[in-house]
Amino acid sequence: MSARRIDGTAIAAELTTKISAEVARLRKEHGLDPGLAVVLVGSNPASEVYVRNKTAKTAAVGMRSSLHTLPATVSESDLLALVAQLNADPMVHGILVQLPLPPQIEPQKVIEAVAPAKDVDGFHPLTAGLLATGLPGLRPCTPSGCVRLAKSVHPSLAGMEAVIIGRSNIVGKPLFHLLLAENATVTVAHSRTRDLPAVARRADLLFVAIGRPEFGKRDFIKPGATVIDVGINRVPADGGKSRLVGDVAFAEAAEVAGAITPVPGGVGPMTIACLMLNTLSAACTAAGLPDPAL
């Protein structure tokens, strides 16, 4: 491996240390008491792990969290009623409904039910519109984490050639707007892109978010490029076990890249740190305090 390994765990820990300090200062000086409500529907094992990590990290930075678990059979209207109740609760500053949801529930309806001021996931269409038009607002966690990781290698992204593979509403599209706001020159590739490796090789900054294990190979990487691997895929491992891999074939990509994020330990921890930051931001906005610029 010749590439520098971008340590998302360490960079996230640095950010959460700053968030903890800011939470303590705002509590002391302004009596601010930020609270995150997490809603988990059903018993998807991956979702249970994510939710556990998020609530544990919320407590670790000194903020309140409440976990609302609903059975997989819950009706859409009961879930929407819970969201409405959380929207109205002044002690709740951020609401996160863990996806995916069971088939009887239309996820877009739930995303649109969350009050934009409490939309710490950044998935509401209004939040997306604020980002797209460069107006202040909450920014989606995973794309924000990706940009922070890229900036840990290149403090300024201005003028850099960035390629994003994947155009989902939760990763690729918001990442496009965040990178544009950093003055990068951005290409978004997807399943209909012609000669994907050639498009990817244009990138000084390559972001891969497609949900296909180790899809991005050596021929996707421009020598010296910075690679941010968003993918989280569970694949079979020896002894009947499983392991997590990204959307990039790490070992071979690392022979060509200048810097690369591992999976696990790259984007994942940054997503949670950015969720903490969004919860603090939402609490500050609700209290009429300036946004903590961390």
The binder of ligand NAP chosen from 37, 92, 232, 274 (CB under 6 A): 232
Cβ neighbours of 56 (radius 10 Å): 11
Contact range with ligand NAP by CB under 6 A, out of 26-34, 59-67, 197-205, 226-234: 226-234
With vertex at residue 172, the alpha carbon angle to CA 166 and CA 45, rounded to the nearest 5 degrees, is 80
* Catalytic residue check, 85: no
Task: Considering only the stretches 10-18, 101-109, 210-218, 235-243, report the one whose residues sit in contact with ligand NAP under the rule CB under 6 A.
Answer: 210-218
Give 26 or 128: the residue with its C-beta nearer to ligand NAP. Answer: 128
Instruction: Tell me the angle at which helices 8-30 and 45-60 cross, rounded to the nearest 10 degrees.
Output: 50
CA distance 246 to 227: 11
Return the DSSP state at 98.
P
Query: Distance between CA atoms of 253 and 249, rounded to whole angstroms?
Result: 6
| Residue 177 binds to ligand NAP (criterion: CB under 6 A) | no
Decide: 173 and 146 in contact? Cβ < 8 Å.
no
Closest separation in Å from C-beta 193 to ligand NAP: 6
SS3 sequence of 99-132: CCCCCCCCHHHHHHHCCHHHCCCCCCHHHHHHHH
Tracing tokens 């990817």 back to the chain, one arrives at: 200
Do the Cβ atoms of 206 and 179 come closer than 8 Å? no
Q: Is 104 a catalytic residue?
A: no
- How many CB atoms are located within 10 Å of the residue 2 CB? 10
- Number of residues this chain uses to bind ligand NAP (CB under 6 A): 25
Q: For ligand NAP, which stretch binds (CB under 6 A), given 81-89, 124-132, 217-225, 229-237?
A: 229-237
Q: Give yes or no for residue 192 binding ligand NAP (CB under 6 A).
A: yes
DSSP code of residue 216: B
Which residues from 128-157 bind ligand NAP, rule CB under 6 A?
Answer: 142
Q: Give yes or no for residue 211 binding ligand NAP (CB under 6 A).
A: yes
Q: Binding segment for ligand NAP among 15-23, 60-68, 169-177, 251-259 (CB under 6 A)? A: 169-177
DSSP 238: G
CA–CA separation, 223 vs 256, rounded Å? 5
172 binds ligand NAP (CB under 6 A): yes
**Dihedrals φ, ψ of 141, to 5°?**
-70, -50
Among the listed residues 76, 233, 244, 289, the single contact to ligand NAP using CB under 6 A: 233
Catalytic residue among 54, 118, 173, 222: 54
By beta-carbon proximity to ligand NAP, the closer residue of 183 and 219 is 219
Structural tokens at position 286: 């609700």
Out of 107, 191, 234, 291, name the contact with ligand NAP by CB under 6 A.
Answer: 191
Is residue 54 annotated as a catalytic residue, yes or no? Answer: yes
Which of 201, 212, 217, 218: binder of ligand NAP (CB under 6 A)?
Answer: 212
List the catalytic residue out of 119, 121, 229, 247.
121
Active site members: 54, 98, 121
- The residues that touch ligand NAP, with contacts defined as CB under 6 A, are 142, 165-168, 170-172, 190-193, 196, 209-212, 230-233, 247, 267-268, 271
